[in-house]
Structure 1
Amino acid sequence: MAGHSEDPNADEQYHLEVGPEDIADTVLLPGNPERIDKIVAHWDEYDERAYHREYRTATGTYDETPISVTSTGIGGPSAAIAVEELARVGAETFIRVGSCGALQEEMAVGDLVITTGGVRQEGTSSEYVREDYPANADYEVVCALVAAAERLGYDYHTGVTMSADAFYPGQGRPGFEGFEAAGSTELVDELKEANVKNIEMEASAIMTIASIYGLRAGAVCSVYANRETGEFRTEGESRSAETASLATHLLAKMDAVKREAGADRWHAGLSLE
């Protein structure tokens, strides 16, 4: 292909400023760079490898398992850049660690939502593949997140997540001076009736892109707001961080069990003990 332009530095990625030596196989993906500190607080040890634009990266160990974290900023476009560049330096598994708005009344603020699939309302993934391509979480990642939440004793829900591009009208909220986008007033009710669990802004892009490339991805988010009850608190950040970190350790154990058994994929017949 002629006429394309690439960053001439093949060893260090243009936006993230990381190389292969900076990244573990599994990378946690929070949006907010400040959330890095709350994630690495659960690790054995870590050091910061890069901080450029919204992309802050640290690498260390959790229960002796190598692990990395890179912040993505807000939304699908910047999250897609993170997945692209992390994959190019060797990352194979991605777990979004974020916050969300819950849609079902029984979901309490502070609970966790483990995504099994996504409604692709963001536009980034459509730049990669046709709109009817599914945004599925990798089932090994889902299993590891569920096992981690169970071991830690945290309340969690599993199900479909809707990812939006806009925080206000795109999530059924009024915009400036009460502006309402077409269909935004019905959005939350329609998603609730379809048993969608939560709304956030990155998961479906991350999962779609990872699936296209044959990589693993999933998401665990803390419920900050319940759109049905109107309750809002910034609660549960530490729970999602610890759950994703433990899930990384469990995924490493799954991979070891697969190698020992000669299996291509982990399944319920293989033990994690």
Structure 2
Amino acid sequence: MAGHSEDPNADQQYHLEVGPADIADTVLLPGNPERIDKIVAHWDEYEEQASHREYRTATGTYEETPISVTSTGIGGPSAAIAVEELARVGADTFIRVGSCGALQEEMAVGDLVITTGGVRQEGTSDEYVREDYPASADYEVVCALVAAAERLGYDYHTGVTMSADAFYPGQGRPGFEGFEAAGSTELVDELRDANVKNIEMEASAIMTIASIYGLRAGAVCSVYANRETGEFRTEGESRSAETASLATHLLAKMDAVKREVGADRWHAGLSLE
């Protein structure tokens, strides 16, 4: 295989160190490289393809459907690099799989949040498009994630996600020695009152970039913390991993149905079987 290069047409990508033969059409995008082990535990089989910096990649099958996973590290900038380089080697669908803080009182730790749209509080997507461009999850990805959560019997919520650049003041937490950024103390209340469901750090960048390029993207996150009740537990990670994996299988079924009937988009009037 040729050496890695910044040339977008190169066989191997500069940061991810993967090529077209290494990647399936759909790629799951966790932040933490260690989360990959929990994701592939749900698959039929897998093979690790590359590990470079925060980017670790594996490819295999789930219910005989080809599937890949690449860790992105924390935040929009590194997630954007992953989407860019994966798209350049043939990926066309991206599902962010992560953890989040819930903003609504009724959302329990361990529940899933399936993102329908994003508040672009991160700065990465501003480098791509004007700030009033929406961060929208792809309709088919949302439908597949909802169908997967239903089939698996997991409690889930759908709605708007805010993606932040900073974990502490950027999400309404105090910084070092109690530092409070302007507006940070009101942030959680304002988002909750606007019916925003959760906060995390990558989804809006991933969805915005995918939308610009005509690719599919969405997100499913496990609730680790409820910012209204103060509850915190690292719970539900396996649920988001399994839901995203099954959603990949369902997306493949959607694509097959579209080809069979000659439709451009899957819709609720078409079968998933």
TM-score range, shorter chain: over 0.9
What is the CA–CA distance in structure 1 between the aligned matches of 2:148 and 2:238, rounded to whole Å?
A: 13
Distance 1:150 1:5, change over 3 A: closer
What is the CA–CA distance in structure 2 between the aligned matches of 1:142 and 1:187, rounded to whole Å?
A: 27
Q: Give the % identical residues.
A: 96
What is the CA–CA distance in structure 2 between the aligned matches of 1:250 and 1:136, rounded to whole Å?
A: 20
Contact 2:120/2:205 (8 A) holds in 1: yes
For residues 201-257 of structure 1, the C-alpha deviation after alignment (integer angstroms, 9 at most, x for no partner) is: 000000000000000000000000000000000000000000000000000000000
Distance 1:3 1:17, change over 3 A: closer
Distance 1:154 1:190, change over 3 A: same
Instruction: Structure 2: give runs of 5+ residues left out of the alignment.
Output: none
What's the secondary structure of 2:99's corresponding residue? strand
For residues 142-173 of structure 1, the C-alpha deviation after alignment (integer angstroms, 9 at most, x for no partner) is: 00000000000000000000000000000000
How far did residue 59 of structure 1 move? 0.1
What is the CA–CA distance in structure 1 between the aligned matches of 2:22 and 2:193, rounded to whole Å?
A: 44
What is the CA–CA distance in structure 2 between the aligned matches of 1:232 and 1:3, rounded to whole Å?
A: 44
For residues 113-147 of structure 1, the C-alpha deviation after alignment (integer angstroms, 9 at most, x for no partner) is: 00000000000000000000000000000000000
Distance 1:8 1:114, change over 3 A: closer
What is the CA–CA distance in structure 1 between the aligned matches of 2:152 and 2:78, rounded to whole Å?
A: 31
Contact 2:6/2:13 (8 A) holds in 1: no
For residues 171-204 of structure 1, the C-alpha deviation after alignment (integer angstroms, 9 at most, x for no partner) is: 0000000000000000000000000000000000
How far did residue 66 of structure 1 move? 0.1
What's the secondary structure of 1:246's corresponding residue? helix
What is the CA–CA distance in structure 2 between the aligned matches of 1:261 and 1:76, rounded to whole Å?
A: 37
Does residue 226 of structure 1 match 2:212?
A: no
How far did residue 9 of structure 1 move? 7.7
How far did residue 6 of structure 1 move? 3.8
What is the CA–CA distance in structure 2 between the aligned matches of 1:56 and 1:22, rounded to whole Å?
A: 12
Q: TM-score, normalised by structure 1?
A: 0.98
Distance 1:8 1:259, change over 3 A: closer
Equivalent residue number for residue 74 of structure 2: 74
Distance 1:221 1:2, change over 3 A: closer
Contact 2:99/2:223 (8 A) holds in 1: yes
What is the CA–CA distance in structure 1 between the aligned matches of 2:21 and 2:4, rounded to whole Å?
A: 27
Contact 2:4/2:12 (8 A) holds in 1: no
How far did residue 5 of structure 1 move? 9.9
- Out of 5-14 and 108-117, give the one that drifted further: 5-14
Number of aligned residue pairs: give it. Answer: 273
Contact 2:6/2:14 (8 A) holds in 1: no
Q: TM-score, normalised by structure 2?
A: 0.98
Contact 2:102/2:227 (8 A) holds in 1: yes
Distance 1:21 1:186, change over 3 A: same
For residues 65-123 of structure 1, the C-alpha deviation after alignment (integer angstroms, 9 at most, x for no partner) is: 00000000000000000000000000000000000000000000000000000000000
What's the secondary structure of 1:192's corresponding residue? helix
What is the CA–CA distance in structure 2 between the aligned matches of 1:14 and 1:255, rounded to whole Å?
A: 30
What is the CA–CA distance in structure 2 between the aligned matches of 1:235 and 1:159, rounded to whole Å?
A: 20
For residues 37-63 of structure 1, the C-alpha deviation after alignment (integer angstroms, 9 at most, x for no partner) is: 000000000000000000000000000
Runs of 4+ aligned residues of structure 1 deviating over 3 Å after TM superposition are 1-9
What's the secondary structure of 1:257's corresponding residue? helix
Contact 2:12/2:19 (8 A) holds in 1: yes
Distance 1:181 1:2, change over 3 A: farther
What is the CA–CA distance in structure 2 between the aligned matches of 1:3 and 1:96, rounded to whole Å?
A: 28
What is the CA–CA distance in structure 2 between the aligned matches of 1:142 and 1:49, rounded to whole Å?
A: 28
Distance 1:8 1:154, change over 3 A: closer
Equivalent residue number for residue 29 of structure 1: 29
How far did residue 2 of structure 1 move? 24
Equivalent residue number for residue 8 of structure 2: 8
What is the CA–CA distance in structure 1 between the aligned matches of 2:41 and 2:35, rounded to whole Å?
A: 10
